[in-house]
Amino acid sequence: MLSIRLPKDLELRVNNLAKTTQRPKSFFIKEALRNYLEDLEDYYEVKKREDSKNKELISLEELEEALEL
């Protein structure tokens, strides 16, 4: 269980969104935190790989081909 205090402007925005969508406020808080943590984890993984001595880099073209873009 976690309890947080939000600034009034954020609380108002979450309340309005919850009311508009008829979803609980906790849904939006959890979703926002999940997205933020994923972005941070990705960032730190990139930094770790960037600093690695045995990094294997590929070109943008190789990446696009691997992703079939």
As a whole number of angstroms, the distance between CA 41 and CA 45 comes to 6
Q: What pLDDT was estimated at residue 28?
A: 97
The number of distinct structural domains making up the chain is 1
Is 67 inside a domain boundary?
no
**Tens digits of per-residue pLDDT, 4-52?**
999 999 999 999 999 999 999 999 999 999 999 999 999 998 888 888 8
Q: How far apart are the C-alpha atoms of 40 and 47, rounded to whole Å?
A: 11
- Given a cut of 80, is residue 60 above it in pLDDT? yes
39 lies in some domain: yes
Structural domain includes residue 3? no
Q: Which residues contact residue 66 at a Cβ distance below 8 angstroms, ignoring those fewer than 6 apart?
A: 58
Instruction: Please tell me the predicted confidence (pLDDT) of residue 33.
Output: 97
Q: Over 7-65, what HEC string results? A: CHHHHHHHHHHHHHHCCCHHHHHHHHHHHHHHHHHHHHHHHHHHHCCCCCCCCHHHHHH
